[in-house]
Structure 1
Amino acid sequence: MHAAVADRDVRLDVDLPAGQVLGVLGANGAGKSTLLALAAGLLRPTAGAVTIAGRVVADARTWLPPHGRRVSLLAQEPLLFPHLTALENVAFGPRATGAGRRAAAALARERLAQVGAAELAGRRPGQLSGGQAQRVALARALAPDPAVVLLDEPLSALDVEAAAAMRQLLREVLRAARRTAVLVTHDLLDVLAVADAVVVLEHGAVVEEGSTLEVLTRPRSGFAASLAGVNLLPGRLRPDGAVIVPPAAPVRAGTPTAGPELVLHGLVDPACRAGAAVAASVAPRAVSVHRDPPGGSPRNTVPVTVLGLEQQGELVRVRTVTDGGHRLAADITPTSVAGLGLAPGMRVLLAVKAAEVAVYPA
């Protein structure tokens, strides 16, 4: 599937190779729902084109309605027809595309078995649990043999146990048949379990794309960094290998940036070039917090203001902001928090060794 569109302030350019599952990530309002709506035929592009399985389904001259696109949608809620049995719900798609009653019923039984729901064939939606209903909804989405399956946060309404089982089922079903799918999610586990590749959307545009492993181990956007749980600082590489990090972009247009540049030292990927844009990332657990300049060998020491403290399992996450407006986090022990007397508004120093800072092309 390829979509290059302009809609209001949204511009999307996304390629999805056949047989892959693409994870789509981004904050609320980033454009994820717009992407699905364009693929499903629920929204017309004002420019560009939507191409599915080599066929243009929407552009300036072409408009193929949803039922003609060979696209299925699995949403947060199962949205099963309440007056039909599970078998009849799954058979509805094939029947709508011209299959006979017996053929549609046979296909429905096959799809229900495929998702581990064969014993639910005679039940109505009101007799199903949330996880069971979502399995039936998945069978219904697969029954018409779609070219693309659109998954709109399909696990968000399930409890933890049902979501884990459904996540494993999606992985098995989609990969076994090499189904092409687009998965919109906010959950890191969904991405790790199901997606082959990832795109990150911000303000209606693609800001990052690549394999799931690449995006989560070398994030280049703030959203991907927060999902991966690392601090991210964008900058430019100096000839001596140091990274110059300018003040953070203003929150609002016309608001001036403030604060000094940061100079960071780290392990530089050989692909980086002097003067080019790079990203520096560091895990919060590699960051230490000090009231006074630390001794020893940390090459990176950054003055910050404490914004807040959060429990993170056995550790406490210290959220801070630099004088240049960059948000940084450090994970330290409760004993260290008490010993330092940390509180919001306090000025402290963050220190990290150069060996803990990964520097790679932005």
Structure 2
Amino acid sequence: MSARDGAARAPERIAPALHEGVALTADLAVDRGAFRLEARLTVPQGEVTAIMGPSGAGKSTLLAAIAGSVRLAAGEIRLADGTTITRRRHPTPQARGVVMLGQDALLFPHLSVRDNIAFGLAVRGHTKARARQVADEWLWRVGLSGSGAHRPRELSGGQQQRVALARALAVSPRLLLLDEPLTGLDAETAAETRAVLHDQLSATRTTALVVTHDAFDAAALARHVVVVEAGRVTQRGAVRQVLESPATRFVAAVAGLNRVPGAAVDGAWTAAGVDGDLRLDAPLPPGTADRGALVAVFRPADVRLAPAGEPTWTGAIRIARDEGHAPGEWLARVERLEPTPGGARVHTTRPDVVAEVPAAQLAALALAPGDPVRLSVSGADVRILAAPTS
């Protein structure tokens, strides 16, 4: 049943607890102005799930719905203890056992670091002495032993994030929501904070959802990933599986891969929307039917780039038609160039493909946006995948 059918459910019913190993299931819809998020997901108990997607896709809205800061428009969220959340039944975040940690640590500026951590414990019934004792234990666990008397302003941004993580984990949440917690930190601080996150989430077996744009963060922190684009879930699965077999252009870009749509024609993969034929001598998936939709996946480093032979597009097309194309070779236009430590990533169109070009070759080619180029890739460097059905 989809989130659109939420109005037909009995929203006040308390559902039975989920089966063992599942912390949360959701089949929900959220309206925020003209934007609508519809998502299904299952969160395994004691594991970290990454939520990825482009800006404005609905990732933070999904976390806000689970946390309770926005109401559902339809559908439901079910927690492991049997709590059901619907449009009409809207328990507080504390009643849900959910804690949110974002880019801003949001520590109380007038309290010491120790008392920031102890605050949540005291609210949950711990004595002041016990809350402070637990806070000191957590400061040691996140590498900040001895800093309990400091105020937040005396700590660096990375240290404040560690305190916020300690405060979140100290109350043993049923679910921890992390909304891009490493954004805004410099590379060294982000690496240190990432390591602390990994160690403490693993040690405590805390169930967590972490929103990130970074494939490295997803791979370092999570076992599973849910991809959200334009308010819909477009792919889900184990992190490695999703990054190796991207279902959308966004996932391919995050994974550092080219993804070109095409089809099986006369037993070979052939691209659509290309000026001239683009056929690849790469193995097709077993059972592929002729004209079946397929995608070719390959690394930018495996794409070879050469001059088109003419500086104008019409001239380059004429030469290409006269000379023909070898398998795995096609004509494209330069869209933009992005510098890399060893050269540049050259983005081309028709189809959208990125090629990595070393600095010496880049200087010899003197490329500019709009220039025609000849690209090629060996079939041995390409994986052909079945295109997703939806």
Counterpart in 2 of 1:319? 347
Question: Given that residues 25 and 199 in structure 1 are in contact (C-alpha distance below 8 angstroms), is that contact kept between their aligned partners in structure 2?
Answer: yes
CA apart distance, 1:103: 2.5
SS state of the match for residue 146, structure 2? helix
Q: CA contact under 8 A between 1:271 and 1:361: conserved in structure 2? A: no
Deviations 1:69-122 (A, max 9, x none): 111111101110011111111111121122222232222222222212221111
Instruction: Determine the C-alpha separation between the residues in 2 that align with 1:330 and 1:136.
Output: 42
Q: 1:288 aligns with which of 300, 304, 307?
A: 304
> What is the CA-CA distance between 1:262 and the residue it aligns to?
5.0
How many residues get paired? 348
Higher mean alpha-carbon deviation, 37-46 vs 272-281, is at 272-281
Task: Give the TM-score normalised by structure 1.
Answer: 0.89
The answer to whether the 8 Å contact 2:275/2:330 transfers is no
* Structure 2 residue 361 is the aligned partner of structure 1 residue 336: yes
Deviation at 1:177, TM superposition (A): 1.8
The separation in 1 between residues aligned to 2:291 and 2:80, in whole angstroms, is 41
Letter in 2 for 1:59: T
Q: Distance in 2 between matches of 1:162 and 1:32?
A: 24
Instruction: Please give the root-mean-square deviation of Cα atoms over the aligned residues, in Å.
Output: 2.5
In the alignment, structure 1 segments of 5+ residues that lack a partner are 248-257
Q: Residue 126 of structure 1 aligns with which residue? A: 153
Q: Provide closer, same or farther for how the CA distance between residues 135 and 266 of structure 1 changes in structure 2, counting only shifts above 3 A.
A: same
1:243 aligns with 2:259: no
Unpaired stretches in structure 2, ≥5 consecutive residues = 1-23, 310-319
Counterparts in 2 of 1:118 and 1:4: CA distance versus 1, 3 Å = same
SS of alignment partner, residue 108 of structure 1: helix
Aligned to 2:30: 7
Letter aligned with residue 5 of structure 1: L
In 2, distance between residues paired with 1:62 and 1:346? 58
After TM superposition, the score normalised by the length of structure 2 is 0.83
Equivalent of 1:228 in 247, 251, 255: 255
List 4+ stretches of structure 1 deviating above 6 A. Answer: 258-261
| Residue equivalent to 2:383 | 358
SS, match of residue 120 in structure 1? coil
Kindly report which structure 2 residues correspond to 1:298-309, keeping only aligned pairs within 5 A, or say none.
299-309=327-337
Tell me the residue number matched to 1:349: 374
| CA distances 1:126-153 after superposition (whole Å, capped 9, x unpaired) | 2111111111110000111001111111
Change (3 A) 1:239 1:90: farther
In the other structure, the counterpart of 2:225 is: 198
Match of 1:156 in 2: 183
Q: Which amino acid aligns with 1:6?
A: A
Q: 1:267 aligns with which of 275, 283, 286?
A: 283
3-state secondary structure, aligned to 1:16 = strand
C-alpha distance in 1 between matches for 2:74 and 2:259:
34
Going from structure 1 to structure 2, the CA distance change for 1:271 and 1:76 (only over 3 Å counts) comes to farther
